[in-house]
Amino acid sequence: GIVTPVGEGETDITVTTDDGGHTAVCKVTITKPAEISATGVELDRTTMSLTLGVDTSGVLKATVLPEGATNQSVTWSSSNETVATVSDGIVTPVSEGETDITVTTEDGGFTATCNVTITKPAVIPVTDVKLDKETMSLTLGEDTSGTLKATVLPEGATNQSVTWTSSNTTVATVSDGIVTPVGEGETDITVTTD
């Protein structure tokens, strides 16, 4: 008694008894589904905040209403592409500011909007600096230079600038971590964060 539609049209479904061959008929009409028009569109959020240099993108999801609407196609736009661009719901920050990301249904032109704020990253202060060596020995005439590497902490600190000094430039000089021997003796090479 389970009727399965196969194609558009009409058919008679007949039931026949084994005992006596009695029959009953049901006329079945198979139609193509009517188009279900869009009545609106929703976004999964109405606000979004992204940080330059930290967030490469944000994602917005659009739902065309009602569920099962025939035409699910939408277009995306940004009210200020100098702040953020959008493609298929992926929002890419460009510069500091605000923009409205709008999704529009192809069927009916219904819209939904998300306000996007792009901010500059907060300044991450320097807490320490480390050198890759605590001691270094150089030989006059054999070693033309030695190299020290400084690591500003925490990783990702905003200002990575450092200055280098030698406590005795008649023994060794330093420039960008490269220590050049000048004369016999000892000196302290110091790195200082800005």
CA distance 36 to 22: 42
User: For residue 11, what pLDDT band results from cuts at 50, 70 and 90?
Assistant: very high
Average pLDDT over residues 151-160: 88
Tokens 């400084």 found at: 150
Instruction: Tell me the percentage of the chain whose pLDDT exceeds 70.
Output: 100
Ramachandran sector of residue 177 (left: φ over 0; alpha: ψ -120 to 50; beta: rest):
left
**Which pLDDT tens digit goes with each residue over 44-63?**
999 999 998 778 899 999 99
In this predicted model, what pLDDT tens digit does every residue of 86-107 receive, in sequence order? 999 999 999 999 999 999 999 9
The pLDDT score that the predictor gives to residue 179 is: 96
Digit-coded pLDDT (tens) for 108-143: 999 999 999 999 877 878 899 999 999 999 999 898
91 burial (CB, 10 Å; 0-12 / 13-18 / 19+) is buried
Q: What is the mean pLDDT of residues 144-165?
A: 92
Residue 32 pLDDT exceeds 80 = no
pLDDT of residue 154: 84
Q: What is the mean pLDDT of residues 17-21?
A: 95
Residue 71, pLDDT > 90, answer yes
3 pLDDT higher than 90: yes
